[in-house]
Amino acid sequence: MSSSIITVFIVDSCAIAQQRLTGALSAAPVIQVIGTANNGTEALEHIPQLQPDVVCTNLQMPHMDGFELIRQLLALCPLPILVVSPTVQPTETETIAQVLKAGAVDVFPQPLTGRWKAADQQALIDRIKVLAGVKVFTKSLRQHSTTHILRSSVTHRPSPRLCADAPQILAIGASTGGPQAIHQILSRLPADFPLPILCAQHISAGFLPGLISWQASMCPLHVKVAEAGEVPVPGTVYFAPDHYHLTLDDQGRCHYSAAPAVDRHCPSITVMFQAVAQHYGAGVLGVLLTGMGQDGAVGLQKIAQSGGSTIAQDETTSIVFGMPKVAIELGAAQTVLPVEQIASSILQQLSLPHSV
């Protein structure tokens, strides 16, 4: 078998849904469905031996549902899992939150009619191609990653008050694998975190409410979509909205920009990073996480050039080492860290208590 072939395993209790999904994927010569299962129990019997590039699973199945399959598969044989189900429509925010919490890399809504339209079929194929290059880790692998510091770290001096030259805002950008990476950071920050946090996450249109619901349930901070005209306040996480770039106006208020996509993305991480760098200058702490492509790299460089502090996620813990890699090559990343150490580094730079 050619190494260019992408192998997929499908898990769905509905035989017709299996057939239609297989047919949709077979339209791409580079994709081959190498196995199917009717539930999670059957899937776990075959997937470890077949080692597919991507696992596509429904959620509602007898004996072992998709949620339990995701949890057990990630512990036994970590592979990129795409949930393809009619229950992950954009309106199903709670279900999407549970899927992300379980550890699936991404979700794709199965057509409610059961039949794949050409546009949806192509979007699914494109998603599979992206996920085929994704790395997935167990928790134990993440815990043993090492730190790579590119500049001297700030000496930790616990203090309830920020220094005069401390960062004034935290800006985070992420793409593929980003929901889990952002969770790793936000869940380690205290409820009284003294900075506002702006986030730009590449995610399919309509799924942002589900992402926010999950993040809000798993971290002590207030998490919401940024509203045009509001001033970012400490202890609150503001996500860029669908279809708009998140920027700041002259008074530091959130602003929606309808400018064209940058690096094929809207919202763009680079646009947000450049906006905070322009307004806050050296008062920005920028973090660029896992993701395909290069969005955010030039923006992180702008933060560094403005005197701010910059962190990029390391290769070992990045689901896709694309955006951080470009930023590192540009010299934009002053510090490179495994994702589980980024929150401690942020607290250290603010001279706040943090765990080792």
Q: What is the pLDDT of residues 250-290, one digit of tens each?
A: 999 999 999 999 999 999 999 999 999 999 999 999 999 99
For the stretch 85-111, pLDDT in tens is 999 988 888 898 889 888 898 899 999
The CA-CA-CA angle for residues 160, 166, 167, to 5°, reads 115
What number is the average pLDDT over the span 331-355?
Answer: 93
For the question of residue 222 being annotated catalytic, the response is: no
Q: Is the pLDDT of residue 150 over 70?
A: no
3-state secondary structure the chain: CCCCCEEEEEECCCHHHHHHHHHHHHCCCCEEEEEEECCHHHHHHHHHHHCCCEEEECCCCCCCCHHHHHHHHHHHCCCCEEEEEHHHCCCCHHHHHHHHHHCCCEEEECCCCCCCCHHHHHHHHHHHHHHCCCCCCCHHHHHCCCCEECCCCCCCCCCCCCCCCCCCEEEEEECCCHHHHHHHHHCCCCCCCCCCEEEEECCCCCCHHHHHHHHHHHCCCEEEECCCCCCCCCCEEEECCCCCEEEECCCCCEEEECCCCECCECCCHHHHHHHHHHHHHHHEEEEECCECCCCCHHHHHHHHHCCCEEEEECCCCCCCECHHHHHHHHCCCCEEECHHHHHHHHHHHCCCCCCC
Q: Tell me whether residue 295 is one of the annotated catalytic residues.
A: yes
Q: Which of 13, 85, 175, 309 is catalytic?
A: 175
pLDDT confidence tier of residue 216, bands split at 50, 70 and 90: very high
Q: What pLDDT band is residue 152 in, cutting at 50, 70 and 90?
A: very low
- Please pick, among 12, 53, 295, 314, the residue that the annotation labels catalytic: 295
pLDDT at 139 over 50: no
Average pLDDT on 296-319 reads 96
Predicted local confidence at residue 1, as pLDDT: 42
- Which range among 5-19, 125-139, 324-338, 339-353 shows the weakest confidence by mean pLDDT? 125-139
Give the pLDDT score at 162. Answer: 59
In the residue annotation, 175 being an active-site residue is answered as: yes
Domain boundaries, the chain: 6-136, 143-349
pLDDT of residue 158: 38
pLDDT in tens, 50-92: 999 999 999 999 999 999 999 999 899 889 999 999 999 888 8
Average pLDDT over residues 111-140: 83
pLDDT at 159 over 70: no
Per-residue pLDDT at 3? 58
CATH 3.40.50.2300 given to domain 6-136:
yes
Band of the pLDDT at 355, cuts 50, 70, 90? low
pLDDT digits (tens, 9 = 90+) for 184-203: 999 999 999 999 999 999 99
Q: What is the pLDDT of residue 292?
A: 87
Q: Residue 229 half-sphere exposure, CB side, CA atoms within 13 Å? A: 0
Q: 143-349: same fold as 6-136? A: yes
The CATH code of the domain at 143-349 is 3.40.50.180
**Average pLDDT of every residue of the chain:** 89
pLDDT at site 161: 52
pLDDT of residue 153: 35
For 297, the token pair is 């790299």
Q: Which of 202, 245, 255, 354 is catalytic?
A: 202
Confidence band of 137 (pLDDT split at 50, 70, 90): low
What's the predicted TM-score (pTM) here? 0.82
pLDDT-derived band at 167 (thresholds 50, 70, 90) equals very high
